[in-house]
Amino acid sequence: MRQAGWPIPRTLASSILAAAAALAVWSFAPDAFPRSHTSILGLAFFAGILAVVTGRLMCLGNAWLVLTAIATPALVLVPIYRPPSWVFPLIALVLAGFYINGVREKVPLYLSNSATERALADLFRKMGGGTFIDLGCGLGGIVDRISAALPESHVIGVETAPLSFLASWLRLNGQGRRNATIHYQSIWDTDVGDADVVYAFLSPAPMARLFEKLKAEMKPGSIFISNSFAVPDREPDEVIGVDDSRQTQLLVWRM
């Protein structure tokens, strides 16, 4: 999978390169940017765009591009404005609120794209609907799309990164979506016995343990779909190619 390998160093590299380029322009070509708040904000914006372009060239996934787009302007503004020291723990807390599972579970936040959401909704519709669980639902995009496409189905998302959970919960409850539920719950504590489809877009780290759990708990006839990540020594029963730019593969196991 192109966007999965070492995204944290690549995100840092794109941010640092772009911020350094912007600060170099600021220091060595003072005429290009007059010393006003407007031009400093322009410089920060320019650095954010540069970081996204650099990140794209480094094949970063969308969530990492969002992170670099936010972090890079901050890297530019900090040495110029020297904000009070409490700003830094606050930024760290916000980032941890979304990305803590990158450290705890080796599964950071990145998002399934809309082509994948459509492919999953089509597959679930062909199966006749039922109960769909997204293990580690991120910002709730999959739960949103599937529950809207199949109003008779029940779609559940579980998430333990606090701000991702909050974003999903607000997203689904804000729309009053009755057939969607978001739980603050670990994948490992989630009962998958009633699920017709379990979907996961995680990382290589939890796949062997996760498959053992699902094999033990899922009912006969249900399916497990892993976006991109294989299960060691377990060939999928089917591989569905998604027609998107990163050539997403949905690996399907029948239970």
Ligand X SMILES: C[S@@+](CC[C@H](N)C(=O)[O-])C[C@H]1O[C@@H](n2cnc3c(N)ncnc32)[C@H](O)[C@@H]1O
In what helix (H) or strand (E) does residue 159 lie, and over which residues does it extend? strand 154-159
- Contacts of residue 142, defined as CB under 8 A and 6 or more positions apart, other chains included, come to 112, 117, 120, 134, 157, 199
**Residue 82: helix, strand or coil by DSSP?**
coil
- Choose, by CB under 6 A, the member of 136, 167, 218, 222 that binds ligand X: 136
- Choose, by CB under 6 A, the member of 47, 109, 218, 225 that binds ligand X: 109
User: Of 119-127, 133-141, 232-240, 245-253, which part binds ligand X (CB under 6 A)?
Assistant: 133-141
Alpha-carbon distance 175 to 172, whole Å?
A: 5
**Residue 188: helix, strand or coil by DSSP?**
helix
Is 138 a residue that touches ligand X (CB under 6 A)?
yes
- Choose, by CB under 6 A, the member of 158, 182, 195, 250 that binds ligand X: 158
Smaller CB distance to ligand X: residue 18 or 142?
A: 142
Q: Is 132 left (phi over 0), alpha (psi -120 to 50) or beta?
A: beta
Q: Shortest Cβ distance from residue 244 to ligand X (Å)?
A: 13
Is 111 a residue that touches ligand X (CB under 6 A)?
yes
- Choose, by CB under 6 A, the member of 201, 224, 229, 253 that binds ligand X: 201
Smaller CB distance to ligand X: residue 130 or 162?
A: 162
Nearest to 244 by CA among 156, 118, 109: 118
Is 141 a residue that touches ligand X (CB under 6 A)?
yes
Smaller CB distance to ligand X: residue 183 or 234?
A: 183
**Residue 101: helix, strand or coil by DSSP?**
helix
CA of 30: how far to CAs of 19, 24, 36, 75, in Å? 16, 10, 11, 19
Is 167 a residue that touches ligand X (CB under 6 A)?
no
Residue nearest to ligand X (CB): 136
**Which residues sit at the interface with ligand X, rule CB under 6 A?**
101, 105, 107, 109-112, 134, 136-138, 141-142, 158-161, 164, 186-188, 201-202
